[in-house]
Amino acid sequence: MTDHTNESILSDAIKEDQKKARTDHMKYMPGMEVLESEIQEQVITAMNEYDYETYTAQDVRRALNKDHISPEDFAALLSPAALPFLEEMAQKAQAETRKHFGNSIMMFTPLYIANYCENYCIYCGFNCHNKINRAKLNGKEIEQEMAAIAETGLQEILILTGESRKMSDVKYIGEACKIARKYFKVIGLEVYPMNSDEYAYLHECGADYVTVFQETYNSDKYETLHLSGHKRIFPYRLNAQERAIKGGMRGVGFAALLGLDDFRKDAFATGMHAYLLQRKYPHAEIAFSCPRLRPIINNDKINPMDVHEAQLLQVVSAYRLFMPFASITISTRECARVRDNLVNIAATKISAGVSTGIGSHVEEIEDKGDEQFEISDGRSVDEVYDDLKKLNLQPVMSDYIYV
């Protein structure tokens, strides 16, 4: 009988990635712009020092009684001691939202123009080892998709690719922005992090803002989740928003994927990252996304650390109170009920008519590539519009005017 106990059952591809995993995730790869910035160290130091168990009800009450929330108050609002105050927090967050945004809620839709990816993030359905249908739209298809989306009345689009510089190079993304400019007033990008001159080029092509998910700010955990590819380089990702601002982007978005690691520390680091950049670049428009980890195809390696609805509301309310002017987006990973609840309290932006597959707004290019994750809110643009009205909220397609 053969003894299999010492035999590896890992595929060659995974073994190869394990080797690459020894790459120092804190060391920049050739071609990556090194930004001399103090922000990363400040964020990581603040996060490491954050001990949420030390906060008390008194700290939370003190924070809730203030007009302006300090980083220390923000820390208290994210602590377990704040959970019994959730109703009060949500009410204060709602009042703050109405003060700065009225009852306006911005609507947009994401368009995945490609799903090639060179990274191995073990929690994502697009990762380079996952056997999914890969595809990218050509210029004509991008135009068809955008025209179909614009027909629904939307005026803001978020362009996404997987993270493959090879298959979705900067020029390709730039061409997509130029096409988008014909149909939309606001163009966002959620693509791989790049250098500031590349952001400047994409801004010239029409892009207004850039969102980069840091996923987790715990670099030790980050290393275990991002096994290969350029995404493995933690500081290059963390400094992406600052490079985007230097490249001339009007706005930048931040997010931790809540549930990957300790969500309180990650939410605290996300808020501090945005806060410190806002202080350094007061003109930059700041946005938060609040994704929670969701199930994906072919993945049983990830056990999300539970972030329940109450904790999600706590994070969103704390973001609002700490950064009163920031835009907050709630993803279609959340169901319609949760999204409607959050836009009624603190979120200011909602997507509609969403598909995370490649080319699904036009029949002839339908089902070109697989979806990144399952969405929970499949409402059309009209349905989201009507549901916002029922909540006495005002759906807004764009507040940006070209003269």
Note the residues at the interface with ligand SF4 (CB under 6 A). Answer: 117, 119, 121, 124, 126-127, 162-163, 231
Smallest gap from Cβ 294 to ligand SF4, in A, equals: 12
- Say if residues 168 and 162 touch (Cβ distance below 8 Å): yes
Hey, what are 329's tokens?
Answer: 């987006």
Hey, what are 353's tokens?
Answer: 């008519």
Nearer of residues 121 and 272 to ligand SF4, judged by Cβ: 121
DSSP character at residue 358 = B
Neighbours of 13 (CB within 10 A): 12
Smallest gap from Cβ 295 to ligand SF4, in A, equals: 14
Orientation angle between helical segments 263-280 and 39-49, nearest 10 degrees: 150
Smallest gap from Cβ 166 to ligand SF4, in A, equals: 13
Nearer of residues 228 and 341 to ligand SF4, judged by Cβ: 228
Nearer of residues 126 and 288 to ligand SF4, judged by Cβ: 126
Q: Locate tokens 């980069």: which residue? A: 212
- Say if residues 277 and 284 touch (Cβ distance below 8 Å): yes
Hey, what are 316's tokens?
Answer: 């969103």
Smallest gap from Cβ 229 to ligand SF4, in A, equals: 7
In angstroms, the CA 215 to CA 242 distance is 17
Nearer of residues 126 and 385 to ligand SF4, judged by Cβ: 126
- Say if residues 74 and 52 touch (Cβ distance below 8 Å): no
Smallest gap from Cβ 162 to ligand SF4, in A, equals: 4
Smallest gap from Cβ 146 to ligand SF4, in A, equals: 21
Nearest CA-CA partner of 127 in 29, 227, 8, 19: 227
State which H helix or E strand residue 77 sits in. helix 71-77
Nearer of residues 162 and 353 to ligand SF4, judged by Cβ: 162
Residue 318: alpha-carbon gap to chain centroid: 17
Which residues neighbour 202 within 8 Å (Cβ) at sequence distance 6 or greater?
170, 173, 174, 177, 189, 194, 210, 247
Nearer of residues 368 and 379 to ligand SF4, judged by Cβ: 368
Smallest gap from Cβ 1 to ligand SF4, in A, equals: 40
Nearer of residues 293 and 384 to ligand SF4, judged by Cβ: 293
- Say if residues 289 and 316 touch (Cβ distance below 8 Å): no
